[in-house]
């Protein structure tokens, strides 16, 4: 287990909406995951930034610290049980417990032109990292989340509108739909233990994966009722809410953060002359 030089210690009162709390975020080296770390640190969290790429995790943690937050970094491959369990153990050691788990890590292989030419290896990888990886993390973290004071333990999964509608990506979409189902079943199981489990379903978000494809983002923005694609901070704000005391009576939900994409078919409404603008 590679990690920054962390500082373990006892919990201390904080000023965030949940007071001071310990958070582990997977896939947090860039994009949405990095934005989540920045936002939760600003809310008073001590954050363990994890990523399969240790250098990316360290850069995110350093940026959080430079902004006045508290963060450490560690390598975590959610495809490996031992790596997941080591990351959870490190978070507990650093923070004196674990209050929030954010499952953000995913894999996404592009579709091939013909479904029958799809690779079983790519399919299995997308499901293993995106869905089973979240399962591994939740399994390792749940006993610690259940021990969090004031019944404030929470899991926030990062899903996708792909898990709700057809936007392409067979394996990725199936994995995200499975993650939404796991969110509901785990919420029912974990509720008596004082742990809430919810999912944020982003639409198109302008992250580094879209570099060089800005024209596609501009075209996509026209299909969103709110007129733009998302920003990583849009998703981070929703995660911060679901992780906070403000959401203490919310569990098992899928919260779309999608600029209105799932409300209907904007292109069809325009074709029929029923949309403004």
Check if the beta carbon of residue 71 is closer than 8 Å to that of residue 65: yes
Is the alpha carbon torsion for 33, 38, 41, 42 positive or negative? negative
Q: Is 213 a catalytic residue?
A: no
CA distance 158 to 199: 6
Q: Which of 175, 180, 275, 273 is nearest to 224 (CA)?
A: 275
* Secondary structure letter of residue 29 according to DSSP: S
What are 3's strand-pairing partners? 74
Q: Which of 56, 59, 159 is nearest to 105 (CA)?
A: 159
Given 21, 106, 176, 224, the catalytic residue: 176
Given 21, 106, 172, 213, the catalytic residue: 172
Q: Is 176 a catalytic residue?
A: yes
Which positions are catalytic?
172, 176
């Amino acid at each position: 287990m590679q990690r920054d030089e962390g500082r373990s210690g006892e919990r201390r009162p904080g000023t965030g909406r949940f007071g001071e709390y310990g958070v582990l975020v997977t896939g947090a080296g860039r994009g949405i995951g990095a934005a989540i770390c920045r936002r939760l640190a600003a809310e008073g969290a001590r954050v363990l930034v994890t990523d399969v790429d240790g250098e990316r995790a360290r850069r995110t943690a350093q940026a959080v610290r430079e902004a006045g937050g508290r963060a450490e970094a560690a390598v975590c491959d959610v495809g490996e049980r031992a790596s997941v369990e080591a990351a959870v153990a490190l978070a507990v050691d650093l923070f004196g417990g674990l209050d929030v788990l954010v499952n953000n890590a995913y894999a996404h292989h592009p579709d091939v032109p013909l479904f029958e030419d799809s690779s079983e290896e790519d399919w299995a990888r997308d499901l293993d990292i995106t869905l089973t990886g979240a399962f591994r993390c939740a399994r390792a973290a749940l006993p610690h989340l259940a021990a969090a004071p004031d019944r404030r333990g929470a899991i926030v999964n990062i899903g996708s509108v792909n898990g709700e509608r057809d936007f392409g990506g067979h394996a990725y979409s199936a994995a995200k739909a499975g993650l939404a189902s796991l969110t509901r079943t785990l919420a029912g199981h974990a509720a008596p233990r004082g742990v809430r489990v919810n999912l944020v379903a982003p639409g198109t978000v302008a992250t580094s994966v879209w570099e060089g494809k800005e024209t596609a983002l501009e075209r996509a923005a026209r299909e969103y009722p709110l007129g733009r694609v998302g920003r990583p901070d849009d998703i981070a704000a929703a995660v911060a809410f679901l992780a906070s005391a403000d959401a203490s009576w919310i569990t098992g939900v899928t919260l779309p953060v999608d600029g209105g994409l799932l409300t209907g078919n904007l292109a069809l409404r325009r074709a029929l002359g029923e949309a403004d603008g």
